[in-house]
Amino acid sequence: MTTLADPVPGGRPGEVERATALSGELAGRGVHGVVLAYVDTAGVGRVKTVPVARLASAVAWGVGMSPVFDTFLANDSVVTTDVLGSPDGDLRLYPDLDRLVVLAGQPGWAWAPVDRVTQDGERHPGCTRTFLRRIVTEAAERHGLTFRAAVEVEWTMARGDAPGDTFVPATTGPAYGAVRQVELGDCTAELLRACAAQGIDVEQVHPEYAPGQFEISVGALDPVAAADRSVLVRQTVRAVALRHGFRVSFAPAVVGQGVGNGGHVHLSAWRDGVNLHSGGEGRYGMTADAESFTAGILAHLPALTAVTAPSPASHLRLRPSQWAGVFTAWGHETRETALRVVTGTAGQRDRAANLEIKPVDLAANPYLAIGSLIAAGLDGLTSRAALPGETTGDPARPAAAGTAQAAEARGVRRLPVTLEQAVEEFRADGVLRAALGPVLADAVIAVRRGELASVAGLDDEQVAAAYRWVY
């Protein structure tokens, strides 16, 4: 479990002693530096690193980094809100020792996610990891709920020797094909070894649909740990691939057309150790709370996409009939609805049942995405929202999904087709904005608008190229 206690100047009780012992142990294992990792509002992973001997100082006093990254764009230019984007001020990065791992794919390095705290020792309202801890804490206090989450990571393996920033797939062979598994077998075996060494329980690795595409799925954890893990998985995939001469892209769309890279989120709500998505009186074993939680996410999905699919490139991926889930609909094991109710197989449903949210990609900040999804679900749960009827088949083909009128009666509609529309939905969603708080909500709006301005006039291929290598 992730500690829900905020970092404090001087260190949480016992932490400095723990860090001192740990840094000696790490040095003995050949570690020289610790990567302090977080994800900015635009979804870009940002880091500072410290020598291993500075770990105790880092947990006591943090490591300086400007708050300006809250309004950085993916191209490293800066936008502003009324309180963010100024060159003034400083924040302190506090590593979470519970999540520190020695990086198997990067000899000499350890890694830890950070919370960002003001110089006065206060929570930084723009810190997305702190935001997710707050959402999880409030859910426990107000509703007696805990959650389990996992992020599926899809990525594209490209040849490292391709000229410039062009994309040449690192594999041949068809989707899910044995050819690809053999061609990249050395690299993916090393990835499995690195994940195991880092305590990541991998469920599957497989060649995916699009050229050069692969996917890794990992076990579920508490929400903060799951978000941390998704960042670590990407760091590991990239590092291992690079050692094999490959370049990696987690961008939602590596090229202008075709299937993109998703970052589907699996989420389940639990009370007193019982999974609310199983063993209930509702559809497919959902309890009334799980149905309302699902209804809440469904109702907020158009606005949520500003958080879960935040890049102009996200909208190249969010197209019908590409398994990205672009309709506000749910279905049982349906790959084309935004929400897939996963019941698991007989014998393990009490543990395995969950909700899969598909219109999420890896340009999304995972802390913001998971926290916003939980906030939306809790809104449904609190208001006892009714879950509309299920959808079967592909909603893009009404003949399969029932008549167009029947789909409309169930509230099935296309998610925003542009980032601009998504931002307008987000702006109009008081529940989500209140959950994020004004500083983060304004940062989301300003950064999305900044991204839109930065791609004005570009065609799909140029948009894909602009974001191909940043995530």
184 vs 360 by CB, closer to ligand GLU: 360
Residues in the chain: 471
Q: Do the Cβ atoms of 41 and 447 come closer than 8 Å?
A: yes
Q: Which is nearer to ligand GLU, 241 or 362 (CB)?
A: 362
For the bound state, the minimum distance from the C-beta of residue 207 to ligand GLU, rounded and expressed in Å, comes to 11
Per 3-state DSSP, the chain is made up of helix, strand and coil in percentages (nearest 5) of 40, 20, 40
> CB under 6 A: which stretch of 232-240, 257-265, 383-391, 431-439 binds ligand GLU?
257-265
- 190-229 residues in contact with ligand GLU (CB under 6 A) are 209, 215
Minimum CB distance to Mg ion smaller for 33 or for 262: 262
| CA 417 – CA 414 distance, rounded (Å) | 8
Residue 224: phi and psi, rounded to 5, are: -65, -45
> Residue 358 CB, nearest distance to Mg ion (Å)?
10
Judged by beta carbon distances under 5 to 8 A according to partner kind, the member of ligand GLU, Mg ion, none in contact with residue 323 is: ligand GLU
CB closer to ligand GLU, 335 vs 427:
335
Contact of 169 with 137, CB cutoff 8 Å:
no
Is-contact 153 216, C-beta < 8 A?
A: yes
Q: What is the DSSP string of 445-457?
A: HHHHHHHHHHTTT
Angle of helix 366-382 versus helix 128-143 axis, rounded to 10: 20
Q: Which two tokens stand for residue 376?
A: 């939306």
Nearer to ligand GLU, 385 or 464 (CB): 464
| Given 211, 262, 296, 302, the residue binding ligand GLU (CB under 6 A) | 262
Pick the closer one to ligand GLU by CB: 238 or 340.
340
Interacting partner of 209 out of ligand GLU, Mg ion, none (Cβ under 5 to 8 A depending on kind): ligand GLU
Please select the residue that binds ligand GLU; options are 323, 327, 426, 471, rule is CB under 6 A. Answer: 323
How are beta strands 33-39 and 109-118 bridged, if at all?
parallel
Residue with smaller CB distance to ligand GLU, 71 or 213: 213
User: Residue for token digits 């409309």?
Assistant: 408
Q: Considering beta carbons, is residue 225 or 259 the nearer one to ligand GLU?
A: 259
Q: Which of these, 232, 286, 251, 231, lies nearest to 167 by C-alpha position?
A: 251
> 440: closest CA among 335, 314, 340, 307?
307
Minimum distance from CB of 343 to ligand GLU (Å)? 17
Site string for ligand GLU, 332-371 (x = CB under 6 A): ---x----------------------x-------------
Using the contact rule CB under 6 A, the part of the chain among 110-118, 182-190, 258-266, 285-293 near ligand GLU is 258-266
Q: Return all residues near 85 (Cβ < 8 A) that are at least 6 apart.
A: 68, 70, 71, 78, 79, 446
Binders in 117-176 for ligand GLU, by CB under 6 A: 154
Nearer to ligand GLU (CB atom), residue 209 or residue 270: 209
Q: Which does 442 bind (CB under 5 to 8 A by kind): Mg ion, ligand GLU, none?
A: none
324 touches ligand GLU by CB under 6 A? yes
CA 387 to each of CA 18, 246, 255, 299, 330: distance values in angstroms, whole numbers, following the listed order? 48, 45, 36, 9, 9
Stretch that binds Mg ion, among 26-34, 100-108, 212-220, 284-292 (CB under 5 A): 212-220
Which among 33-41, 317-325, 362-370, 430-438 is the span making contact with ligand GLU, rule CB under 6 A?
317-325
Distances (CA, A) of 86 to 185, 197, 400, 449: 47, 41, 52, 17
Going through 54-201 in order, the beta strands assigned E by DSSP cover 63-65, 91-95, 101-102, 109-118, 145-151, 153-159
Chain residues in the site for ligand GLU (CB under 6 A):
154, 209, 215, 259-260, 262, 317, 323-324, 335, 358
Chain residues in the site for Mg ion (CB under 5 A):
215
